Amino acid sequence: MNIIIEQAKNRFLDLLTFKSHLRLEHDHEDEYLKAIIDMATEILENSIGKPILKKKYKYIHYSSEFISSKKIQLPAAYVQNVVSVKKIINENLKEKCPYTTEICGNKTCVITNGSRYPIEIKYIAGMTDNSAEISKDLQFAVLQIAKNIYECSEEDILESKYVKHIIDLHRPMSIN
């Protein structure tokens, strides 16, 4: 289970840019438009397989078997750092767990000593926390996805040839 426990407060597609693109001048839909921007960003991040703005995650790894060491691959790409690794003894008791990290393909693995207990890993992942560093093509993709959501267009949001191209450019390559 991978849960976002904290994310950047800023959006890399700001509300004014989105409203200007839609040619909206009123303010009564602002909260709705912000939710659409967040949804569009999440759609893009899921499509390219990596978070864009940094987020803090909590990942819980369950295993019923005891082995001398565990290599746990974190689900998000662009892991900046691991904040903590703990064994979950019960719902009220967590115990620090020694660990090391290594790169496994395009993901990060946390290596711990063996345990039958679930392991809770808190980590920070994302390409950047500065929205000015995000490439224009990713900004355009979020703008187009958000526009399609707002307009409820019949075209499937991810079927736009421009958005497909941008997603393909940013999706990590896997070499088998």
Give 45-57 pLDDT, tens digit per residue: 888 888 898 889 9
Is a pLDDT exceeding 70 seen at residue 176? no
Return all residues near 8 (Cβ < 8 A) that are at least 6 apart: 53, 54, 55, 126, 129
Burial profile 54-92: b = 16 or more Cβ within 10 angstroms, e = fewer: bbbbbbebeeeeeeeebebebebbbbbebeebbbbeeee
pLDDT tens digits for range 53-83: 888 999 998 876 665 578 899 988 889 999 9
Return all residues near 1 (Cβ < 8 A) that are at least 6 apart: 59, 60
Tell me if 170 sits within 8 A of 41, measured CB to CB. Answer: no
Q: Give the global pTM.
A: 0.72
- Residue 29 binned pLDDT confidence (cut-offs 50, 70, 90): very high
**Which pLDDT value is given to residue 157?**
59
Tell me if 138 sits within 8 A of 170, measured CB to CB. Answer: yes
- In the chain the first and final C-alpha atoms are separated, in Å, by 26
Range 126-153 average pLDDT:
87
Cα radius of gyration (the chain)? 19
Tell me if 41 sits within 8 A of 12, measured CB to CB. Answer: yes
3-class secondary-structure state, position 150? helix
Burial level of 129, CB count in 10 A (0-12/13-18/19+)? middle
pLDDT tens digits for range 3-15: 888 877 778 888 9
Distance, in Å, from the CA atom of 162 to the CA atom of 136, rounded to the nearest integer, reads 13
For residue 134, give the nearest of 4, 11, 7 by alpha carbon.
11
Tokens of 95: 């115990």
pLDDT tens digits for range 81-121: 999 999 988 889 999 999 999 998 888 999 998 777 889 99
Tell me if 121 sits within 8 A of 61, measured CB to CB. Answer: yes
